[in-house]
Amino acid sequence: MIMATKLDPPTWFTSLRQIGYRMAEQPNREGGEEYPLVVLSVPTGQFVVWALFDGSVAASPKIQHVPISEPLLCTTWSDEQKQIADVMVYEREFEASLATVIGTTTHTRGFPFVKLPESVTARSGRVLEKKESAFLKKFFTAEGLAKPSKPWYKCWTEHCLSPIVVVGEGQKFLFDQLDLLRSEPVSEGWLSPLSLALTSIESQKVVGPTDVLRVPISVLSSQASRVHSWIQNLRPRLVIYTRWSYFQRRPPAAFSGVPTIVISNRRVDSSLVCARDTEQLFKKSPDWISNSVALPHGISLRYLEYPVITSNGLQDFDVNEDEDEDF
């Protein structure tokens, strides 16, 4: 019987991984600034999202601290529910620093949280099952990421509150790709242990827009940020659009300021539109890309910068719901 041989990730996979990392480590931009956008031209979309994800989760989470002195609805870890949940949070002075009060628990060294818009009501339902919690605790401890001063659930919370957001259709196809990366012997080792751990939860929770900020990656339909408008105000670690048309039709302020990657799959006719639209927009890649990313033959990128938009105003777009996805 011939056994499949474990292979190192191919050059194109490691190159995409590096792009994901470099983009995710860029700070989120604020009003009056411009944020980076990379258009990736690839011969096929196979595994591209997961290579980018693999690199991006290696970048440090970006959670903006917003001081709150009175109880407000936030997303963070709940000791009572044993999962990330929407709970009342406030801060108070404790020995010349700020303690974070979450429900009935006080974290004297502070704890990460994201304040939710006033229009959002607390989301219910269980996201993290006991067996998943046990696995994550074991993983973060074994990897040395959890320690007495930083319990495993704080590691998990940081990744969830600074997630990777993927926007596009064809979610089933994406998770079929992930299953292949996990199950095929030849691709064993392509994804890092951290990526495997962060994607170990049930995929149905990952595609649910109501679970954004409660999981480390959210794969959303191109309409999710319109139907659930509060999502537009979130500041993930990285946003990946699986097609140029999805980026064009986004609400103008959706994820504005967050480093963004758009995948242009040359097997899809719309890649020609993408090439035409960006012809006069792209700039010379900054040193943090050109000096650290070597692209193999068949993959190219265009670097663009977009102004941060803080409100959507009256602009809107028509959407063709019949468009098929082809990664």
| CB contact at 8 A, 23 and 238 | yes
Dist CA 327 CA 266 (whole Å): 10
Indicate the fold that domain 11-62+162-307 takes in CATH.
Answer: Rossmann fold (3.40.50)
Tally of CB atoms within 10 A around 61: 18
Range from 82-86, 162-166, 267-271 carrying the lowest mean pLDDT: 267-271
pTM of the model: 0.91
Which residue's entry shows tokens 């940020």? 225
What local confidence, expressed as pLDDT, does residue 222 receive?
87
Is the model's pLDDT at 159 over the cut of 90? yes
State the average pLDDT over residues 276-288: 90
**What is the phi/psi pair of residue 304, to 5°?**
-130, 165
Segment of 79-83, 249-253, 268-272 carrying the highest mean pLDDT: 79-83
State the average pLDDT over residues 276-286: 90
Dist CA 273 CA 301 (whole Å): 15
pLDDT over 70 for what percent of the chain? Answer: 93
What local confidence, expressed as pLDDT, does residue 15 receive?
95
Is the model's pLDDT at 285 over the cut of 90? yes
228-244 residue pLDDT tens: 888 888 999 999 999 99
What local confidence, expressed as pLDDT, does residue 93 receive?
85
Domain extent listing, the chain = 11-62+162-307, 72-146
| CB contact at 8 A, 13 and 46 | no
State the average pLDDT over residues 243-272: 92
What local confidence, expressed as pLDDT, does residue 97 receive?
80
21-76 residue pLDDT tens: 999 999 999 989 999 999 999 999 899 999 999 999 999 999 988 888 899 999 99
Confidence tier at 5 by pLDDT (50, 70, 90):
low
DSSP string of 140-198?
A: HHHTT--BTTB-HHHHHHHHHHS-EEEE-S-HHHHHHHHHHHHH-GGGTTSS-HHHHHH
177-229 residue pLDDT tens: 999 999 888 888 899 999 999 999 877 778 878 889 999 999 998 888 888 88
Dist CA 43 CA 24 (whole Å): 23
